[in-house]
Amino acid sequence: MAILYRAIWSDPTSEDASERFARMKDQAWSWAHEGAPPQQLEDGPTKHQLLRGGTRTITVRRFGTPEDVQAFELTTEDASTETTTIWATIVRLLHGPDGFTILVENRMDSDDPAEEFSRGRPRVVHHLLQESTDPTFGGSRVAGEVTSVPAEGVGVLTEVLASPEREMPVVVCTELDDKDTSLWTRTAAAIAKRSEGVALVVTLDRAATEQFANVLGPNAVHSGGIRVYMPTPVTRTSEGRPHRFFSVRRLHAQRDLVIDRVVDAVAELSSRRRTPRVFRVFSDPLLTAPVLKDGAASTDALDVLQKEWSELLDATDRDLRALESESEELRGERDDAQEELARSIGHLERLRKALQENGQEHLLYATEHETGNSIPDTVQDIDEAVMAAQSYLDEWLALPDDARRDLAKLTTTPNASAWGNTTWRGLRALAGYARDVQEGWDGGGFWQWCTTGRPGTWPATVKKLSMTESDSVMNSTKLDDARCFPVDRRVDESGRIHMYAHLKIAEGGGNLAPRVYFFDDTAGPTHKVHVGFVGPHYLVPNKSTN
């Protein structure tokens, strides 16, 4: 099962610790039974008919450990008659002399890799946090409510962001400059509710935003924008790329999508957290298995342990082979990027000399930085690359909203920024080709244009660009139909057309490796390049991936 969300926190002991532990168990049981009043707990599985339809299997385990720690586990598995997808939630509570340790995990198992889903905390997290007195994870406080920081409190916020002990991401939402004084607070509240347990959400009014910018400079967040500060030290001079920024323009245009992306980012990070060692008691068959009369662990428990160890070794071996393959692909991409950078530097130097000879060298430096109205040099992720193309390149490039497919899965990976900027480069190349054709270039198609050495071209290599598909794809109805994408009705009156030419945004990344499919209509009625698909490879499978 894929882990979608994992909240972990500790809470100190207190005089009423035993009563709180009992209330936490009741809260978990009541949540699993959709709000039913708590009843006496019984170990083992039970069935529950969900109000929305389908069946929930609820399993309870309770036991003690030699260290005088009480352990409680409740798991739910939801199955529907309408889909094969299974949703599972795991709640684990440990109560010992030093206090509590709590884990809540949400998982999904589906036969359909393209299935859409929305990340967010299970409501049981809210109930358990309400029973906690001082919940912390690492060096960070765990909370679900929005924290409003005034200008005089910005120093505390920046100290938190700069702390190397911080393990919780911080989402900073800033006040809008327009008259709508509620949109930004409603957005912050929505993010806080869905990311409860895995992120801190902070709001800054205009005065606080200005003070925040004075302290962090380029690593601050602009008025009306949102920034997700990952758990690495943030200072004025630190690297800002890991901390994703969502502009006010993007918030106005795609508010729901921005909320999804922020929650996706922090939830994805939480799913990679390592489970604390104390939770190993739940998978230790010598602790949880039945015990024989003489006190020795049953042979069944030892068999389970041996099987789990064998499965772990097999999984580790598979992971190592996959990492070696991905590492080799990344080395190849790095070498290609270094060669391209060397060529670009050489071209830039030749351009400088030519301008210098004509007394215009100042033009080179005057255009070094983008202006507020110019096409942006970089983007945060593929979502932003698509949005930027729709905003800045629409004179030469047609990219409908229907072309964006499963981008949430691509914006929450460690490669999100690299893939986003590579996609942005590819979209700009397609637009540049269409522009040059409109201006009179007639040297062939897109591949030929990429070989000319003009600024902004795309690598014309089989590893990065394909102008058609293999016979095995085009001779398969299923695979061929997967490449039928939306297009302007002036190109095809049906509004859809088969597209085979595509940019290979990444070779590594497996089935998630992004692809951009396009159709060249520069000689047709629209005089544009039409992009019909931007998304992961698994939605356009071929014979080797199908």
Nearest one of 546, 2, 534, 543 to 267, comparing CA atoms:
2
Q: What is the pTM of this model?
A: 0.69
- Two tokens at 3? 């882990």
Residues of the domain holding 349: 298-369
Which position has the token pair 């931007």? Answer: 534
Helix (H) / strand (E) element for 8: namely strand 2-12
Whether residue 104 sits in one domain with residue 69: yes
Confidence of residue 279 (pLDDT cuts 50, 70, 90): confident
Q: Establish if 288 belongs to a structural domain.
A: no
Q: How many other CB atoms sit within 10 Å of the CB of residue 113?
A: 14
What mean pLDDT is predicted for residues 355-373?
Answer: 68
Do residues 518 and 532 make contact, with C-beta atoms less than 8 angstroms apart? Answer: yes
Do residues 542 and 472 make contact, with C-beta atoms less than 8 angstroms apart? Answer: yes
Q: CA-CA distance, 513 to 507, in Å (whole number)? A: 6
Whether residue 429 sits in one domain with residue 335: no
Whether residue 18 sits in one domain with residue 87: yes
Average predicted confidence (pLDDT) for the chain: 85
Whether residue 418 sits in one domain with residue 529: yes
Do residues 503 and 518 make contact, with C-beta atoms less than 8 angstroms apart? Answer: yes
Do residues 56 and 32 make contact, with C-beta atoms less than 8 angstroms apart? Answer: yes
Query: Would you say residue 445 has pLDDT above 80?
Result: yes
Domain boundary among 340, 369, 398: 369
Do residues 191 and 227 make contact, with C-beta atoms less than 8 angstroms apart? Answer: no
CATH of the domain at 14: 3.30.530
Query: Would you say residue 373 has pLDDT above 90?
Result: no
- Two tokens at 102? 């709590």
In single-letter form, the type of residue at position 338 comes to: Q
Q: Establish if 292 belongs to a structural domain.
A: no
Specify the pLDDT at position 290.
Answer: 46
Q: CA-CA distance, 102 to 124, in Å (whole number)? A: 11
DSSP 495: S
Whether residue 470 sits in one domain with residue 384: yes
Phi, psi of 473 (to 5 degrees): -75, -50
Confidence of residue 106 (pLDDT cuts 50, 70, 90): very high
Poorest-confidence range of 192-206, 320-334, 405-419, 474-488?
Answer: 320-334
Angle at 160 (CA atoms; ends 156, 163), nearest 5 degrees: 135
Q: What is the dihedral of CA 290, 292, 294, 296, to 10 degrees?
A: -60
Whether residue 14 sits in one domain with residue 120: yes
Burial class (CB in 10 A: 0-12, 13-18, 19+), 470: middle
Confidence of residue 288 (pLDDT cuts 50, 70, 90): low
Poorest-confidence range of 171-180, 298-307, 438-447?
Answer: 298-307
Q: Establish if 104 belongs to a structural domain.
A: yes
% of the chain beyond a pLDDT of 90: 47
What mean pLDDT is predicted for residues 50-55?
Answer: 86
Q: Establish if 282 belongs to a structural domain.
A: no
No. of helices (H) and no. of strands (E), the chain? 16, 20
CATH of the domain at 185: 3.40.30.10
Whether residue 168 sits in one domain with residue 72: no
409 against 332, higher pLDDT? 409
Q: CA-CA distance, 78 to 53, in Å (whole number)? A: 10
Whether residue 74 sits in one domain with residue 183: no
- Two tokens at 207? 């005065």
Specify the pLDDT at position 306.
Answer: 64
- Helix, strand, coil tally for the chain in percent (to 5): 40, 20, 40
Q: Establish if 284 belongs to a structural domain.
A: no
Query: Would you say residue 309 has pLDDT above 70?
Result: no
DSSP 297: B
83 against 477, higher pLDDT? 477
Query: Would you say residue 164 has pLDDT above 50?
Result: yes
Whether residue 385 sits in one domain with residue 507: yes
Q: Taking each helix axis from N to C terminus, what angle separates 206-216 and 154-162, rounded to the nearest 10 degrees?
A: 40
Tens digit of pLDDT for each residue in 233-270?
Answer: 999 998 887 888 888 888 888 888 889 989 988 998 89
Specify the pLDDT at position 302.
Answer: 56
Domains held by the chain: number: 4
Q: CA-CA distance, 351 to 349, in Å (whole number)? A: 5
Domain boundary among 369, 402, 423: 369
Report in angstroms the alpha-carbon separations of 396 from 428, 439, 465, 499.
10, 11, 20, 18
Report in angstroms the alpha-carbon separations of 178 from 183, 249, 252, 253.
10, 12, 11, 15
- Two tokens at 204? 């800054």
Domain boundary among 133, 148, 166: 133
Q: Establish if 280 belongs to a structural domain.
A: no
Phi, psi of 477 (to 5 degrees): -60, -45
In single-letter form, the type of residue at position 182 comes to: S
Confidence of residue 516 (pLDDT cuts 50, 70, 90): very high
What mean pLDDT is predicted for residues 476-495?
Answer: 93
Query: Would you say residue 1 has pLDDT above 70?
Result: no
Q: Which long-range contacts (CB under 8 A, 24 or more apart) does 209-216 make?
A: 209/174, 209/175, 210/151, 211/151, 211/154, 212/154, 212/157, 212/158, 212/172, 212/174, 215/154, 215/155, 215/158, 216/158, 216/161
- Two tokens at 522? 């520069």
* Alpha carbons within 13 A on the beta-carbon side of 66: 3
Give whichever of 178-192, 275-289, 312-326, 450-464 has the largest mean pLDDT: 450-464
Whether residue 123 sits in one domain with residue 144: no
Q: What residues have CB less than 8 Å from 373, skipping those under 6 apart?
A: none
Tens digit of pLDDT for each residue in 177-194?
Answer: 766 668 889 999 999 999
Q: Establish if 186 belongs to a structural domain.
A: yes
Q: CA-CA distance, 60 to 280, in Å (whole number)? A: 17
Q: Establish if 63 belongs to a structural domain.
A: yes
Report in angstroms the alpha-carbon separations of 135 from 142, 197, 321.
5, 9, 39
Poorest-confidence range of 137-141, 192-196, 284-288, 294-298?
Answer: 294-298
Q: How many residues would you count in the chain?
A: 546
Whether residue 146 sits in one domain with residue 195: yes
3-class DSSP state for residue 363? Answer: helix
Phi, psi of 88 (to 5 degrees): -130, 140
Query: Would you say residue 473 has pLDDT above 50?
Result: yes
Whether residue 386 sits in one domain with residue 242: no
Specify the pLDDT at position 292.
Answer: 40
Query: Would you say residue 467 has pLDDT above 80?
Result: yes
Specify the pLDDT at position 136.
Answer: 92
Tens digit of pLDDT for each residue in 495-506?
Answer: 999 999 999 998
